[in-house]
Amino acid sequence: MDVKLISFTPDPERTVAAAARMCYSPVGAKRILEDFSDKEVEDFLRKLVAMGHMSPIEHASFTFAISGISRSSSHQLVRHRIASYSQKSQRYIKEEDFDYVIPPFINNNPEAKEIYEKEMDNIRNTYKNLIKLGVHREDARFVLPNACETSLICTFNARSLHNFFKLRCCTRAQWEIRKLADKMLEEVKKVAPILFEKAGPPCISEGICREGAMSCGRIKNH
């Protein structure tokens, strides 16, 4: 899995703080960034998150290039609707020699891994045979597995990212989408550390756990 932040709103934290300042200050639009110290930016950002006043953080956006994830994981990712996606098309790109993701539990079980890899080879051969018979790629792709690797570009605003991290960084999330979320969080913290310092599952962002009997117990250990 490879995740890279390829574009983002310039000076995202100051942009968000300026939006918040507009809400709480009599300063006009022409002067919104004048005499705006780094300390004031930090204070505005922390105040926003603490108050749950999240609309100003929508003014910062972040674009990621993602590759090496399964179609299974990408299907989970695109359920987060307040985002934009451009994904590799199996309709137009040949998949005769597709790469695939092996879940850790299967990868660590030699017998299961052998069965899994054999089935991936069978699917490859089936796909190739369909293409040889003149089946269009858009129809031959129906036999491709959820394990098939994919790549995509996605853009989120900061508020949508906070929601994404709240749901997908939780240990209850499926392992692959959780790994993806953790990597995306690492990337945005490099350019907006204050904006995302409280981002993550509710046990981190709010100090609570809503999983009940399904809780991993992390919050009890902190």
Say if residues 200 and 97 touch (Cβ distance below 8 Å).
no
Say if residues 77 and 44 touch (Cβ distance below 8 Å).
no
pTM for this structure?
Answer: 0.91
Indicate if the pLDDT at residue 219 is higher than 60: yes
- Choice among 22-36, 52-66, 99-113, 132-146 with the minimum mean pLDDT: 22-36
For the beta carbon of residue 21, count every other beta carbon within 10 angstroms.
19
Report the run of H or E that residue 115 belongs to, with start and end.
helix 110-132
User: Which CATH number fits the domain 2-85+149-221, given the four candidates 3.20.20.70, 3.30.1360.170, 1.20.1730.10, 3.55.50.30?
Assistant: 3.30.1360.170
Domain ranges in the chain are 2-85+149-221, 91-143
Instruction: List C-alpha distances in Å: 70 to 19, 33, 92, 153.
Output: 37, 43, 18, 14
DSSP 100: B
Q: Could you tell me what percent of the chain has a pLDDT over 70?
A: 94
- Choice among 23-27, 43-47, 195-199 with the minimum mean pLDDT: 23-27
* 3 state DSSP class of 174: coil
Euclidean distance between CA atoms 222 and 204, whole angstroms: 10
Instruction: Indicate if 168 belongs to the active site.
Output: yes
Q: Kindly name the residue from 124, 159, 168, 178 that is annotated as catalytic.
A: 168
Confidence grade of residue 215 (pLDDT, cut at 50, 70, 90): confident
